[in-house]
Amino acid sequence: MTLPTGTKLGRYEVRSLIGVGGMGEVYRASDPKIGRDVSIKVLPADISADKERVARFEQEAQAAGALNHPNSAVSV
């Protein structure tokens, strides 16, 4: 299920779909708190119910958050 532009996820506002993969959909979104765009990954319901896959997702998010390079994606 693709989220339409303008959908609010907490403080974030979806701008566009970036891509779709095995773990879900990735969106470009606006974060008004920090005044910039961020990427948000949304997991499908079947994946969010699988503890092992959620753990893998959390590990991916922690690894991305630890990156510090101007050419890398950062999770907020």
CATH code at 15?
3.30.200.20
Flag whether 24 is in a domain: yes
Kindly tell me if the per-residue pLDDT of 73 is higher than 60: no
* Beta partners for residue 39, in sequence order: 28
pLDDT band at 69 (very low <50, low <70, confident <90, very high): low
Q: Which residue range is the domain that position 13 belongs to? A: 8-66
Flag whether 58 is in a domain: yes
Residue with tokens 């920090």: 34
Flag whether 36 is in a domain: yes
Kindly tell me if the per-residue pLDDT of 5 is higher than 50: yes
pLDDT at 76: 43
Flag whether 73 is in a domain: no
Higher pLDDT, 16 or 21: 16
Flag whether 75 is in a domain: no
Domain count, the chain: 1
pTM of the full structure:
0.76
